[in-house]
Chains A and B, each alone.
Chain A
Amino acid sequence: MGITLNYVVKRIVFSTAIVLGISIITYVFIYLAPGDPAYVWAGRPRGPLASEAIAKARVELGLDQPIYVQFSLHVFRFFSGNWGLSIRFKQSVFSLVMRNFASTLELLLVSFTISIPIGLLLGIYSSLYRGSRIDAAINSLSIVLSNTPRFWIGLAMLLAFTSLNIPTYGRISDNFRGELIERIGLYLVDSLLQGRLDIFLDVFIRIIPPALALSLYPIGAIARVTRISLSEALQEEFVREAVSLGLPRNIVVYGYALRGLIPSLVQAIGLFFSYSLIEAMAVEYVFGREGLGNLLVKAIPANDFPLVTAALVIVALVYVVTNTVADIVQALINPRVTM
């Protein structure tokens, strides 16, 4: 246990260093990019008030101070969550991004609840029958699933559901919008906390099609990872031993071979989770749901630099957190892992 704790501390220190690195990169973007940083930070203003806006941005960024003061100011602002004011929405970027991030996270959680069991099951069956037709079929299916653009599938689904008169566009029906009290930002949980089953059902029906469209990639990817690693594990000595002892097949596969794979599977799923965040944005935009994707689509034409940087930082932070958690889980299960 001592070794594991040591590793956990090391891993967390490393992740903190990565977060610090991300703040440095955002600093590089803002200050060392070509042109006037204040001009970019103010959203490339034009018109009579432009010089005023640029002067304000200059003070806000601390451009009149020496570079080390600028840098420490930037890092301090980064860690205190003061990421500037959105140009398009005139609100604090941090609260704006966080509020919309909850919506994206909700979608992502539902889609992974769908895709993890299906992907695992496909992968296990594929590796149990590998070399056979079932394996070839499942493998081709997973290649197709993980290489189709998600927004494309989402579009097809939106059309199909709309023509069936099932409401899928938007996150919540307009009638319920005023009635729902937001507590933690996940509408599925909020509606249940409020005890309103009708709102819950409405939100649930609207979240399923985008979640399905989004879950295709993880299903294919998880199936592939499971297939490859389980195929290797089934050839190990301990599996042969367990079989020769006469243990039933399900115990050998699920109790012995698959158990050893939990750490690497957790890590792979964590990776797919953080990469799906980007796809979630595209799917969200197609389905007209609020979220990071819609926010960015509105922000880009206004050259909303603070907002885009904040979104980049949030996604990078999710990557770091999931990766760290996966690594720690791996270390807890398999003590041989070291830095």
Chain B
Amino acid sequence: MIKRVLKSINSLAFPISVWRKRITFRIGLIITTAILLAGAAGGLLPLIYGWDIGFRIVGESFQPPSLGHVFGTDDLGRDMFIRILMGTSRALAQTTIVIVLSLFIGLFVGAITAYYKGFVEKALLYVTELFLAIPSILLALVFVILFGRGALTVSLALVVSWWSWYGRFAYLQARAVRDLDFIVLAEHYGLPGIYIIFRHIVPNIMSPIFIQALTDAGSVVIELATINFLIGVGTTSIEEPDWGLMLGYGVRYIFNYWWIPLLPGLFIVLMALGFALIGDSLYEEMHPQLKRRWKLWF
């Protein structure tokens, strides 16, 4: 038990040192924490005040931001603050589904591709390349026609095309450790391949891929927002509190009531930026040749 606690403290040492050194990491972490808190609040609101809290008409339409309604009200008189909070928890949930599932699939497919040489490697590389070629947003549209509208359909469509990124990345990483002594020894010892993959290969290739996934979370948010901004197929009705939908629907009010389209857009940008800043500063710290303050020889 004590050993485990010590180990977890030890694993925190790296982020803490990055926190000390990099202002981008600090900004990113603060933004992301704020987004996470907003998401938690958005998830709790319907539990406390009833499921229709985001749809309730609370006052006059088109009220500018004030103390009563922090982000103002929209065209129907619904509170923008509550709707944006609920949109945050929605976006976070969708992003988590996409990133976690595709990371899981990609990591193991990549490790298996690199471990088993020969036909398995060729076949899995082919499959990975095939799914890399398929554009995620258009796949989402196809899924929507086949399985109906909704957040889950769009998220799963993104997973189907997104995992291939991590598959390729994990393959490249795993190929570098595949022929190292500890893998070959384990193989000669007679351990089953699946055990070697789980116990020895995956833990050794995980951290760069995790960082990549952290950076990608922002791109997932943007893709989801793009789909809903264009066509709104990631929602079942136009009432739903989704950032992309609120932005796309509110565009018509941009000249007179700026807060209706601007605030959801701002949250999309903030979330994308927060994850990207964290991922980028971790990447830089792991690659010392990038950070060295180093006069060129000329």
Contacts and interface: CB of A to CB of B under 8 A. Distances in A.
Interface of A: 14, 17-18, 21-22, 25, 29, 33-35, 40, 128, 130-132, 139-140, 143-144, 146-149, 151-152, 155, 159, 227-228, 231-232, 234-235, 240, 243-244, 248-249, 252, 275, 277-279, 281-282, 285, 293, 296-297, 300-301, 303, 305, 308-309, 311-312, 315-316, 319-320, 323
- Shortest 6 CB-CB contacts between residues of A and residues of B: A131-B293, A312-B138, A21-B130, A147-B272, A315-B135, A316-B133
A148 B268 CA distance: 8
A297 B134 contact: no
B298 interface: yes
B137 A300 contact: no
A231 B222 contact: no
Interface string B171-185: 000000000000000
If over half of B's interface residues share one DSSP class (helix, strand or loop), that class is named, otherwise mixed; here it is helix
Nearest to A17: B126
B269 A148 contact: yes
Given A18-B130, A252-B298, A300-B144, A131 B272 contact: no
Given A21-B130, A128-B296, A131-B294, A297 B268 contact: no
A149 B129 contact: no
Given A308-B138, A315-B138, A297 B290 contact: no
Contacts of B280: 139, 143
A139 B277 CA distance: 10
Contact of A148 (B138, B229, B231, B272): B272
Given A25-B130, A240-B297, A315-B138, A151 B226 contact: yes
Contacts of A316: 133-135
Given A17-B126, A300-B144, A149 B137 contact: no
B105 interface: no
B91 to A, nearest CB: 12
B145 A228 contact: no
B233 A300 contact: yes
B269 A149 contact: yes
A150 B247 CA distance: 13
B145 A25 contact: no
A111 to B, nearest CB: 17
A277 B269 contact: no
Contacts of B126: 14, 17-18, 21
A174 B126 CA distance: 47
Nearest to A162: B255
Nearest to A239: B297
A54 B208 CA distance: 51
B277 A143 contact: yes
B24 A140 contact: yes
A130 B134 contact: no
A139 B23 CA distance: 13
18 contacts: A14-B129, A25-B130, A33-B146, A34-B147, A139-B280, A147-B222, A147-B273, A149-B265, A149-B272, A159-B254, A227-B290, A282-B229, A297-B231, A308-B142, A309-B142, A311-B138, A312-B135, A312-B141
Given A152-B265, A308-B145, 13 more contacts: A29-B142, A34-B147, A40-B145, A130-B290, A143-B277, A147-B218, A148-B272, A155-B261, A296-B231, A300-B141, A300-B231, A308-B142, A323-B133
Contact of A243 (B135, B137, B298): B298
Contact of B276 (A40, A143, A249, A315): A143
A24 B265 CA distance: 38
Contacts of A300: 141, 144-145, 231, 233
Interface string B143-170: 0111100000000000000000000000
A18 B269 contact: no
Nearest to B219: A147
B105 to A, nearest CB: 17
Interface in B256-298: 261, 265, 268-269, 272-273, 276-277, 280, 287, 289-294, 296-298
A151 B277 CA distance: 21
A152 B268 contact: yes
A34 B147 CA distance: 8
A130 B145 contact: no
Contact of A132 (B229, B230, B269, B293): B293
B225 interface: yes
A296 B144 CA distance: 13
Contact of A34 (B129, B134, B146, B297): B146
Nearest to B261: A155
Contacts of B144: 300
Contacts of B132: 319
Contact of B273 (A33, A143, A282): A143
Contacts of A130: 290-292, 294
B40 interface: no
B59 to A, nearest CB: 27
